[in-house]
Structure 1
Amino acid sequence: MKNYIWNMFANIKNGQTAKKSIIIQTRKNMCEHILKLLWDEGFISGYRISAENNKKLEIFLKYQKNGKPAINSIKTLSKPGKRVYYSTKQIWKIDSSKLFIIFSTHKGLKSITQCKKFKLGGEPFLIIN
């Protein structure tokens, strides 16, 4: 996994720890795809391309009503040294109400609910609680 993805998640976690509402991140296509999935699932309030600098993204962080961050933890399952792949049958056995998993499939990055909907298998990219 690329360093700019980990930098983005580190910036999100640090921004939520500091109770910021907006953070700035370098604009990359992969980051935009992940942010779209996070926005669709309600982990962030939104994102947009910065008005001042076309190469930056503004990410709007989301908090629960009690002030806790919407993203508690971010983990990886598959690593470059040990790849893990899930078939469609294995994905159906995962409880998607408790975990949000982003899969890398042959049709791009998809959430676990999208993989179940389109009957896709793939490599688990990130697990977010």
Structure 2
Amino acid sequence: MLSDPLADMLTRIRNAGKAKHKSVDIPGANIKVAMADVMKREGYIKNYKFIKDNKQGFLRVFLKYDANDRHVIYGLERVSKPSRRVYVAKDEIRPVLNGLGVSVLSTSRGIMTDRQAKKENIGGEVLCNIW
């Protein structure tokens, strides 16, 4: 059992990118699928696929590299942790690296980026920052 499955997902993606793997398998969960969807929409991964098995299933994430074979994700930072939750109101949402990165929030309307949350005028729990 993992105490923080989302941090495990981010660590697996970070490590696979440094090792230049084409894809990485992550134990499945709905929040991880939503996070992978946000990462795909923002252009940080190529694609993802949820594969069902006899247990909980697993999420296969296909990593993205630039023309020089460098991982497009330079940094992944878990902000809100099980021991310390970080919430922001709609007016307190700050850009990551002056808009070069993205902050992923868990809101009442689902998992979304900081730009989407500002547009929809809602706050939530800051899950992670990606740049």
- Give the structure-1-normalised TM-score: 0.84
- 2:121 aligns with 119
Give ranges in structure 1 of 5+ residues lacking alignment.
none
- 1:97 aligns with 99
- 1:30 aligns with 31
Distance across 1 between alignment mates of 2:26 and 2:58:
6
- For the residue of structure 2 that corresponds to 1:90, the secondary structure is coil
Deviations 1:65-95 (A, max 9, x none): 222111111113334444332222222x536
Distance across 2 between alignment mates of 1:57 and 1:9:
13
AA of the residue aligned to 2:43: G
- For the residue of structure 2 that corresponds to 1:36, the secondary structure is helix
Residues 53-64 of structure 1 aligned to structure 2 (within 5 Å): 53=53, 55-64=57-66
AA of the residue aligned to 1:35: A
Residues 41-120 of structure 1 aligned to structure 2 (within 5 Å): 41-50=42-51, 53=53, 55-91=57-93, 94=95, 97-120=99-122
Alpha-carbon RMSD across the aligned residues, in angstroms, is 2.2
- 1:40 aligns with 41
After TM superposition, which residue ranges in structure 1, 4 or more long, deviate above 6 angstroms?
none
Distance across 1 between alignment mates of 2:112 and 2:3:
18
- Over 3 Å counting, the alpha-carbon distance change for 1:14 and 1:80 in structure 2 is closer
Q: CA deviation at 1:17?
A: 1.4
Q: CA deviation at 1:16?
A: 1.1
Give ranges in structure 2 of 5+ residues lacking alignment.
none
- Over 3 Å counting, the alpha-carbon distance change for 1:7 and 1:77 in structure 2 is closer
Q: CA deviation at 1:2?
A: 4.9
Distance across 2 between alignment mates of 1:27 and 1:79:
19
Same amino acid, percent of matched pairs: 28
- Give the structure-2-normalised TM-score: 0.83
